[in-house]
Amino acid sequence: MAVNRPLIAGNWKMNGVRANLAEIDALVAGIAGADCDVAICPPATLISEAAGRAGDSGLMIGGQDCHTAANGAHTGDTAAEMIADAGGKLVIVGHSERRADHGEGDALVRAKAEAGWRAGLLVILCVGETEAHRRADQTLDVLSQQLAGSVPDGATADKLVVAYEPVWAIGTGLTPSNDDIQAAHAHIRGELVARLGPEAAGIRLLYGGSVKPGNASEILPLPDVDGALVGGASLKAADFLGIIAAAG
């Protein structure tokens, strides 16, 4: 584990209804004394009630995406300000499912990150290569391109977290080797420091892609891994608490 305080963030994606908020209650009970930061990003419909249940427990609730504008004629979209108003403390931007399903490119992701900051949210910005990129040995080049295009100027450790999520590892049960995860994270950290200065070493770098209780104890101790962005294994508090335990 790197020197930065770990963050274990869960992304429920388009899963969960009000009945699933019992998992938030279980997390609130389970994270007392955890030696890391913990967040859950439920569907937008559940942010307000999840935030209420999290209260001052330390469990942060967030959104999975935001629009670039604070308000306006954007049917179906959610402003970062609305996430904050609902009690959210953070927002994910640039997830590969947004990039693939909604055609989001780096310039839009950058604008969404800036919108998150405008609303006072911590931004988790996702990058990661596809299987085709990996096969073509383009992983580090793709990461460099995505970081250059999507990380706004003025990024600091208190405003930005970067999540490295190989697209081919999401929801597949596959993960890169520990050496490959460490190499990608070291590359990302080097790129951030080169552009933003030495203090950017404090920007936390999360690994995401098939993180489970069973592999977290191998991934989280890697030198440049500052935590995890967890999908499927964040839906059940017992699984997520197993990952949190590996971070502390």
Ligand X SMILES: O=C[C@H](O)COP(=O)(O)O
Judged by CB, which is closer to ligand X: 147, or 196?
Answer: 147
Smallest distance from ligand X to CB 171, Å = 4
Active-site residue identified among 23, 81, 95, 114: 95
Which residue is at the shortest CB distance from ligand X? Answer: 231
User: How big is the chain by its Cα radius of gyration, in Å?
Assistant: 17
Binding status of residue 44 toward ligand X by CB under 6 A: no
Place of tokens 């990058």: 127
**Contact in structure between 220 and 1 (CB atoms under 8 Å):** yes
Per-position x/- string for 168-187, each x denoting binding to ligand X as judged by CB under 6 A, each - no binding: --xx----------------
With CB under 6 A as the contact rule, the residue among 192, 229, 241, 243 that binds ligand X is: 229
Q: Which amino acid is at 69?
A: A
Binding status of residue 165 toward ligand X by CB under 6 A: yes
171 in a known ligand binding site: yes
Smallest distance from ligand X to CB 101, Å = 12
With CB under 6 A as the contact rule, the residue among 210, 219, 224, 225 that binds ligand X is: 210
DSSP 5: P
165 is catalytic: yes
With a CB cutoff of 8 Å and minimum separation 6, the contacts of 204 are 4, 5, 6, 7, 157, 161, 162, 226, 227
150 in a known ligand binding site: no
Per-position x/- string for 94-133, each x denoting binding to ligand X as judged by CB under 6 A, each - no binding: -x--------------------------------------
117 in a known ligand binding site: no
**Contact in structure between 104 and 68 (CB atoms under 8 Å):** no
Active-site residue identified among 81, 97, 165, 191: 165
Question: Which range binds ligand X by CB under 6 A, 132-140, 146-154, 178-186, 223-231?
Answer: 223-231
Task: Please work out the total of residues on this chain that contact ligand X, with binding judged by CB under 6 A.
Answer: 14
81 is catalytic: no
List the structure tokens of 21.
């908020």
Instruction: Give dist(CA 206, CA 220) in Å, integer.
Output: 9
13 in a known ligand binding site: yes
12 in a known ligand binding site: yes
Query: Which of 35-69 are b and which e, b meaning 16 or more Cβ less than 10 Å from the residue's Cβ?
Result: ebbbbbbbbbebbbbbbebbeebebbbbbbbbbbe
With CB under 6 A as the contact rule, the residue among 2, 8, 11, 67 that binds ligand X is: 11
In whole angstroms, how far apart are CA 56 and each of 52, 87, 248? 9, 11, 20
Count the neighbouring beta carbons within 10 Å of the beta carbon of residue 177: 8
Interface residue list for ligand X (CB under 6 A): 11, 95, 165, 170-171, 208-211, 229-233
For the annotated catalytic residues, the residue numbers are 95, 165
